[in-house]
Structure formats: C-alpha cells, structure tokens
Structure 1
Amino acid sequence: MMFERIRTMLIGRENRRDRVTSGGDDVRLIAGRYQLGNRLGRGGMGTVWRAYDEMLAREVAAKELHVASDDREHHRRMRRALREARTVARVHHPHVVGIHDLVEHDDRLWIVMELVDGPSLARRIADTGPLTPRHTAALGLQLLGALEAVHAAGALHRDIKPANILLRQDGGAVLTDFGIAALEDDESLTTTGELLGSIGYMAPERLTDEEVGPPSDLWSLGATLSAVASGVPPFQRPTGAAALHAVTFADPVIPEQVGPLRPIVEALLNKSPGQRPSAATVGAALRRVADGADDPGPLPPAGPPEAAGTAGTAGTAGSSAHFPGSAAGVTDPPTPAAPPTVTAPRTLTGTPTPTAPHTLTGTPALDREPTVVDPAGGRPPPRPRGRARTWWWTAGATLAVAALGTGLFVTFGPPSDSDDKAPSPSSATTKVTVDAARGWQTATPTPVRKGDQVTVTYTTGTWTVDAANLPLVGPLGHTRADDESLRFAWKDCKMDSAAPFGALLGRYPGNPGNPHGVRRAWHFQASRQGTLQLRINDRDGCLDDNRGALTVTVRITR
C-alpha cells in the first residue's frame, strides 16, 4: 500500500507543470521533484542552484549543465555530465561532495548534489585574507584524504584550486567540481589525451608528453596550499601565455607567509612527477605542521611516476585535523591502504591557448585563474621544413676530385671506387604540420615519383573534432566511447567510416583503399607520380569546431 502511494505521488508530480505557485510566488520545479531557489554560482561547466528535494524533504544543490540547442552539443554535454556524476558517485568520502541524482529536464541536464552551505576557499581568502600555515595544513590533510579516495576510485580530479573547494559550517573542506575529471579505463589510457584545468594550478606534465597521473593532482594541491597560505598563486602571471610558460619552466613564487609549509610546497611543485613525494609522505608532513611543528620533516621523492601514482597508505590524510582558533575539529575516516596506481591518458605536446576563466560569478582573483580548454588552441606555427640532402656517387678517385677537396665532398658526398655502380638510393625528409581545421593538405613540397618509397610517421601534437567537449587526441583518433557519442554525425561528417573521428588520414593517387588510416606510421610505394595529402577524419563541412594540429615526418626514398 505504501509503495502504491509513492508511485501515485511520483506520477502526479511528473504530470505537474514546470512552474507551480507557492504562496503567490512563481516556483520552478525540476523533474517534478526539485524546487529551485537562488543561484549559488556559475562556473565553466554550469550554473549551480540551491534547490529543495520535495520527495526527501531536504535541501540540495542542482547543477544546470551549459547545453547548446543543437543535438551534437547536447550529446557532448550529456556524456560529460554522466562522466562527472559517475566519478563523484563512486567516491564515498566526507571531504568529497556527495552526488544524489542526474536528471534531464526541458532539454537541460542537471546534476543533483549535496548542498555545502558555505563559501568557497577562494571566497573565504578574499573576504578574510590568507589562512595560517597550521590552518592550511589541516585543510590540506582533508583534501589529501579526498584525493586518495578519488584516485582509489580510478579517477583524477584535474582541477584542484581554491575556487573548487567549499567550506562547511564547521570549517571542513569539500572537494567539488568534477566537471573535467577523467575516468581512467583501458581505452582512454592508450588513446585519449585531455588537457583541461586552471593554468596556474596545472602540473607541467599536462603540457608535455609525460604520463599524467595522481602526482599531477598532488602538484595542484601544492599550488593550492601555497595560494591559501599566502593569498597569491605560485605561478600567477598577467596573461595566460605567461602562466603557461611559468608552470613549465619557472620556479614557483612562494611568499614568506607560507612558513613551515614551504618545504612541502616546493617538493610538490617539482617539475618531475617522479621527484614529488608520495601521498603518505605529504600526509605525515602536513600533520606535523598542523600540530604546530616548524619543520615538516623529510620529503623524499616517491620515485618513478608509476610509484608516485600510488595513493598513500591508511591513515595518511584521513584522521582528525583541528583548525587553530575553531571550536570544533573535523575528523576524517581512515582511507584505504595502498590503492592501485592510476595513470591518465598520455597528453601529447600541444600549444595551449587560454580561454574564458572557469570561475563562479563575482569571485575574487584567486578564483579567476585562466582555464585551458584547448591545449592546441589556435593553430601552431608551421614547423621549418627539413632540407633534403642528396648523395651522389662519382666515378674514380682522380687528382681533379682531390683538388676540389672539401667542396665536392660536401656537395656530392664521398667518391666511389667504381664507375660501374648505379647511384645508391637517396632520401628526403620533411616535417609537416597537419591542421585539424583544414581539409586535405599537401604533405610534400614536390610531387612523389613513381617507384618512390614513402613513409609517414607521427611525430607530435594533438587535435580534436569538438574543442568544446571532446579531449585532444593523437593520430589514432578519439576513443570508441567518444566516437560512439558522435554516431548521429557519422554519415555526414566522417571521411573514413571505418576509422574514428580525429584519426589521421592520408591519400595518394592510385593507392587502393583511399583514404588510408595513417595511425602512427604508414609506408607505401608510389605506383605513379602524384601528391601525398593528409587530413583529420572529419569532412570539410564539419571542421568549424576542430582545434589543434599534428606534426608528421614524411620520408621519401628513391
């Protein structure tokens, strides 16, 4: 009987209009259940509203995902929303925001989450100034425990910064905004690269071809600790490009206010992931500072990235931490021992371009660190083309050749001892930049001749067929899951129906199977004279939202 009443209530609510009247006021009702209140903030992924769950009689936060009107964008946002919801739902930790529901309403996507009724850490610093080193260390312990739980669930947060950390009424920290978190499944480990996040808090390996894993989140934690204790991010620069350069090459600026946290921050901000300390080591050091010690103790590196990718041991960041000057402490449960190593997709070298900040409306400068959504950004400048060198064999060693000496040697190469030998094969090597936003592009400065051996080898770079929603990838193209999410566009936009979107394609006159999937290397013999062309697997009418470029090496031997 009770279940029948609940069912009747649900059906009745589903049939209600979106807007209902309550005490004469117009109230917006989402999915027949969540009554929206005031707006709490706005970020790069969506707008967050205070809401009331009428079924369970509790306050919640409803995140309205920014969704464009066209079907293609809608599909992208749906996929990202599902990934965010599933990531957070798999993590059960007091310092990770809880997720309750995912609904679609009025062609909009909504993630219903735990309501953390407090300011962001960035807002707190803007209002009252930097925190003391002890207070910062206590918060750092809580965040470290949250990260260990996230890593144990097989995910990376990828956007740790003061703006994405909320404070409960008791002062405890809550890690939020998993909008760009990347679940590490078998497919994405080998074929997907993604570069999203706030520049000043983003680990340098995110900008290179190094492995990205839990040490990258620890880097972001180190930058956050420094910013919270001093009020200034360690890589703050006037422009996004300058911030990118600072993260990659410059030493961090760590003010004196950081105090005993300095050795911890410096260790976490090591440019090499393998030289950063483990989560267990960082936890022990933070605990000493939170307890009032002036020396955090030794901070040895964790070793190679694989070892550094292992989350800390039990008790590292999960026990109680008391805030100086607060009435109540915050106790964390112990975290699991030695979660498995998590490595993220290999992100290939690109040319990041800063875009709009991923911030909440009205938040301070600490919140407004530029957010990178497209590491390949604009089109990278063309690489200088290699100079072909041709080696010729001359007949006989004569006094005339000896007299010419070095000049002939450099120009024509070493002489042979026989005038009966045919010229040996010569080769020309050229580096070519293939732009994702263009169609077929000529890959050699001169036509290829019949009989030439041609080898195309991927060198570096990333691109994407949807800069707003899909990650940057290499020559293999997008993952099976990302490609499947674009099924509605396969017929109209794919050049090669058998290859995923974003794959590197090549074609040459007379070759069977044009266009050909280049993958990481492609070798063929020219059956006629012609021009080699390369492109991304995306038709001409669909290139407007593409970004990035790949650099390939073309070698012709004749």
Structure 2
Amino acid sequence: MTSDGDDVRLIGGRYQLGNRLGRGGMGTVWRAYDQMLEREVAAKELNVASDDHEYHRRLRRALREARTVARVHHPHVVGVHDLVEHDGRLWIVMELIDGPNLARRIADDGPLTPGHTAAIGLQLLGALEAVHAAGALHRDVKPANVLLRRDGSAVLTDFGIAALEDDESLTSTGELLGSIGYMAPERLTAEEAGPPSDLWSLGATLSAVASGVAPFQRSTGAAALHAVTFADPDIPERVGSLRPVVEALLNKSPDQRPSSATVGAALRRLADGVEDPGPLPPAGTPGHFPEPPTDVVATPADVTDSPTLTATPAATAPHTLTGAPAPTAPHTRTGSPTLGGTPALDREPTVIDQTAGSPPPRPRGRGRARTWWWTAGAALAVAALATGLFFTFGPPSDNDGDAAQPPATSTSKVTVEAARGWQSATSTPVQKGDKVSVRYTSGTWTVDSAHLPLVGPAGHTAADDQSLRFAWQDCKVDSAVTFGALLGRFPGNPDNPHAVHRDWQFQATRAGTLQLRANDREGCLDDNKGAVTVTVQITH
C-alpha cells in the first residue's frame, strides 16, 4: 500500500519495507521497519502466490518453515517474530542480522584460524542441537546459511529446506535441494537421513571455513555428487588441529560419526587453544557420551548454554573479529545479487536433476563382499543338499518322528507415536505363513495439536477432516481415510497401506516387517501430538 503519496510498501499494517537484502529459491528477504515496536527487522517474502494451482500445498510448507524456526529459542538460531499474509503472499518477519554471511566473510577476508573456526563450530553445533531437540533437521548447513552479527557471533538461518525436504513429493520430481558439496552422502543415495546428516554438513562447513575450500568442491554438480558419495574429502593442511574433528564428521557411514556431545567436547578444547582434541569415537561407543533420547523436549536451559564468542574471556580474545573491517554486507542468501562474484565455498548448484543419472550405492568394502560371496556359496550348497535329499527320500512324512507341535504365539504391546513416520511394530521379522493380529489397546493422538482434539485409532471426525481439506493431497498417506487413522503396511499385502482402525488381521504371504503410523505424511508431522498403544499377536 502507499502512504501520503509516497511509494511506501507497508506489510501487515506495521512493517514498512526498505531495500531488498537477498533472494533465494524460497523467497526474497527485505529490510523492514516495525512501526509498532520501532525496530528494524528482516521480512522474508515467500514464493507462495494465491494464483498458484499448488497454493495450499506450498502454503502448508511455508507455515511449517515458520513454525520450525519459531519454536527453537537459541542465541545462534535466527529469531522469528511474526507471520503475515499480505496481498495473497505469506511473509515471515525475522530478526535482522545486519552482517555478512560466513561465505562472504571468508571470500573477503580469507579463512579463519582453526581455533576461531572451532568457536564458530561450537555455536553452530549448539544451534543444531536445539533444532534436533525440536524434532526438525536443518538439511542445508553451509557457510552461506550462517550469518555473522557485528560482534562476530554466528546465527544459523534459512530453514526453508528443513521444512520442504520431508515432503515426499519433492523426491518424486527427481530433484535434490541443497548444495551438493555440503550434503551428506546418505541424502544423495536416498537413504534415511537424521541428525548425523546435519553433523556431516557441519564438518564440511568447518573444513571450508578453516581452509577457504569446500572439501568436495568440483567444477560440476555431477562431479561433486560423485565426490561426496565415493571420494575422500580434500582437507588442506591449513585446517590444522581441526582435522580429526572434520575427518570424523565426514565419515561416509552415519553410524560411524561421533555424537554431538563428543564433537562439542573436541571443539571446546580447540577453541580453548588445545592443539590435540583427542580421538572422536563413533556415537554409541561404550564409555563415551550417548546420544540424547529422541523424546526429550528442548527447554531454555537446554538450548541457551552453548558457548559464544563473548561468553568466556579466555576463549573470546583469540576468536573475535577485532581488526577486521566492520561488516557492511546486508542480510543475504545464496544467489543474492548483492553478493557480487559467487564465493568458491558455494559454487555447486543448489538443484540438480537426478533423472540424468542417479548415483550408485556407496561401496560397502571388499571384506563385506568376500563375506557375501562366502554366505551365498554356503546357501547354495545347503540348497543343493536339501534338493538332493528331497528327490532321494521324498518330502518328510507326517508320521515320521514326534507329533506336530502346536502353533507358537507371541504377544507384545507397541506404542505408535503420531509425530513419527512408519514405525516397526515387531522386534523380529514376521515369517511367511504367520498369522498377524493388531488390536488397539489405549492412547490418543492428533495431527493438529493447535486446533484439533485428541482422538483414537479411527482418526478425526469427518467434520474435522474437512477442516484440513486443503492439506489432503499434500499430507495424507491414505486419501481414503481421515487424518489420524491408524495405518499399517506389510510387504506383499495387496492393500498397502491398510486402515487398521481398532483391529487388523492377516496372514503373511512372505517374510517381512510390520509397520504402523498415523495417517499423516512426512513433512506434516511437526504439529502432531500423542501416541496409541496396540497389541500385536503373531502365531507361527
């Protein structure tokens, strides 16, 4: 809108837009002035237009992005102030970080020392721990998504991919979001991604910040993809004492990467000037810090005690940006025209087409290959022996030996959480011919904790389901049943997924694992709450 004839754009009746700060795939960031609170803010105009035929689907994604960031309160995670709809577009009003991003800082002034990099790494690690405790992943940790305040402290930004990547429709298009050189190999090979994937990206970022060169930098996206999947990282000598941390984080196998507690202890020693941080064992190694439980909810005490560049005088002096020119670059995003030349730290394209050729699975090692061939040979030998016995003596007789044993039945109770995707319902695989029964026992859940009540395994009422009609295509796993209905699936069943409701029985036509979930797709689970308990009975 205009005011007194001047070309002044006012958003939400209070945010006066100024100059454009940056532009990315998810939207455009503007400097703005909050007239009510009389402060400068950053207003992110999301690319969600009302005339877009996918408007409702994209609107839901944008809301998830805002909610993801808003519920994380941490000094090194960008703060979200408001969510505004204006002229058919959605705006996220955020804390204004009036400084350059880390990629621009390195491009202008050169790499940081290992100790300074470790101090920045501690801040980013604390931010990631807060994000993970909130049940989200960042998925695009890289120097360009780290902004620097005027005191030199780091702020993790741009959670657009964190909100979008969980949506299964994205992977169906053959596209990958993110910068290839900073993406964990399991994400490129379509394997399960979790907090270790963000830690991998943190390792790549630390190496790039301390050396000026990304560890998997290549001239093309395809070459970078191949390097991340198969090649060893290029870690220059300049990385120095950070090398053990970087090497441990860049392990191709997520299970072999260290826990965040182990990484934090090593980075703290390096930031304090200790040259040898010691070995970094994989997460879960006996005698070392375990990973935090997945059901822990972040509290202010949990997420605000990460070290900052100004927290401890002993650590602050070597790691501040004193002597460097005051940062003047605006609050920018990757691809912003204000960046001038593209820094080498982010040269990889942010979107690639996998239809041109998907990467082959990661090599598993020659030792495993020999084990596989030995196992296959043994299996063939046993099969040959069994075949010979069959044709020589015929099938076993019902009258031979002892009488047939009665069927064996195992019963267990399983809790299915609303905020998770498919969850295994059996500790051991179901065998072919087994009779399986799933019966609701107790518990309630909801797929929209802010607006809809808790319900049982039959899911929400038809009226409540209609209130979420705009999200049916985007978020329902089974479009034929209501949101929140208990679903099950088993390999070989013709009606996967099956609406379990209160009871489900079937006979397995092949071996496999029974899985259960609420009827709400990945990428839509952040506002879910509650759990139901079922009794699973398997008769062998």
Shift in Å at residue 248 of structure 1? 1.3
> Residue 27 of structure 1 aligns to a residue in which SS?
coil
Comparing 209-218 and 149-158, the one that deviates more = 209-218
Residue deviations 1:264-314 (CA, integer Å, cap 9, x gap): 10011111112111212212211222222221222122138x955769999
Matched with 1:367 is 346
Q: Distance in 1 between matches of 2:121 and 2:358?
A: 38
Looking at structure 2, the residues matched to 136 and 178 of structure 1 have their Cα atoms a distance apart, in angstroms, of 22
Is the partner of 1:61 in helix, strand or coil?
strand
Q: Counterparts of 1:192 and 1:523 in 2: how far apart (Å)?
A: 34
User: For 1:225, which of 206, 209, 220 is the aligned residue?
Assistant: 206
What is the CA–CA distance in structure 1 between the aligned matches of 2:71 and 2:471, rounded to whole Å? 30
1:236 to 217, 222, 226: 217
Task: Give distance in 1, aligned partners of 2:292 and 2:169.
Answer: 19
Question: What displacement does 1:217 show?
Answer: 1.0
Q: 1:295 to 1:316 in 2, by over 3 A?
A: farther
Percent identity of equivalent pairs: 70
Larger Rg: 1
Question: Quick one: distance in 2 between partners of 1:317 and 1:70?
Answer: 46
Question: Is the 2:180–2:349 contact (alpha carbons within 8 Å) kept by the matching residues of 1?
Answer: yes
Report which structure shows greater RCO (CA 8 Å, sep ≥6).
2
Query: Where do 1:350-389 residues align within 5 Å?
Result: 359-361=335-337, 362=339, 363-372=342-351, 377=355
Matched residue, 2:3: 20
TM-score (normalised: structure 1): 0.58
Q: Does 1:115 align with 2:91?
A: no
The alpha-carbon distance between structure 1 residues 72 and 489, as it changes in their structure 2 partners (threshold 3 A), is farther
Report if the CA contact (8 A) 2:69-2:80 is conserved.
Answer: yes
Specify the alignment match of 1:291 in structure 2.
Answer: 272
1:470-509 deviation digits (Å, cap 9, x = unpaired): xxxxxxxxxxx9999774886xxx9975699xx9xxxxxx
Q: Match for 1:369: what amino acid?
A: E
Report the counterpart of residue 146 of structure 2 in structure 1: 165
Change (3 A) 1:316 1:248: same
Q: 1:154 to 1:415 in 2, by over 3 A?
A: closer
Kindly indicate whether the alpha-carbon contact (under 8 Å) linking 1:231 and 1:366 is maintained by their aligned counterparts in 2: yes
The partner residue of 2:283 within 302, 307, 314 is 302
Matched, 1:136 2:103: no
Q: Is the 8 A contact 1:215 1:308 kept in 2?
A: no
Structure 1 residue 100 and structure 2 residue 81: aligned?
yes
Which segments of 5 or more consecutive residues in structure 1 lack a partner in the other structure? 1-17, 329-356, 382-408, 419-480, 504-514, 526-558
Structure 1 residues 379 and 216, CA gap change in structure 2 (3 angstroms): closer
Partners of 1:109 and 1:313 in 2: how far apart? Answer: 29
Partners of 2:478 and 2:283 in 1: how far apart?
46
CA distance in structure 2 between the aligned counterparts of 1:99 and 1:85, rounded to whole angstroms: 7
* Distance change in 2, residues 1:415/1:85 (3 Å): closer
Q: Secondary structure at the match of 2:17?
A: strand
Q: Tell me what 1:55 maps to.
A: 36
Runs (5+) with no aligned partner, structure 2: 297-301, 324-332, 360-383, 394-463, 488-493, 499-505, 510-540
1:324 aligns with 2:296: no
| RMSD (Å) for aligned C-alpha atoms | 4.9
Structure 2 counterpart of 1:269: 250
Aligned to 2:182: 201
CA contact (8 A) 2:283 2:290 kept: yes
- Output the CA distance in 2 between the equivalents of 1:284 and 1:51: 39
1:74 aligns with 2:46: no
Distance 1:159 1:131 in 2: 21
- Give, as a single letter, the amino acid of the residue that structure 2 aligns with 1:295: D
8 Å contact kept, 2:181–2:228: yes
Q: Residues 60 and 471 of structure 2 are in contact (CA less than 8 Å); yes or no, is this contact kept in structure 1?
A: no
Confirm or deny that 1:91 pairs with 2:72.
Answer: yes
Indicate the SS of the match to 1:155.
Answer: coil
1:164-201 per-residue CA deviation (whole Å, 9 max, x = no partner) reads: 000001111011111122499xxx79999896322111
Cα pair 1:198 1:358 within 8 Å, conserved: no
More displaced 10-residue stretch of structure 1: 57-66 or 143-152: 143-152
Could you tell me whether the CA contact under 8 Å between 2:151 and 2:320 is conserved in 1? no
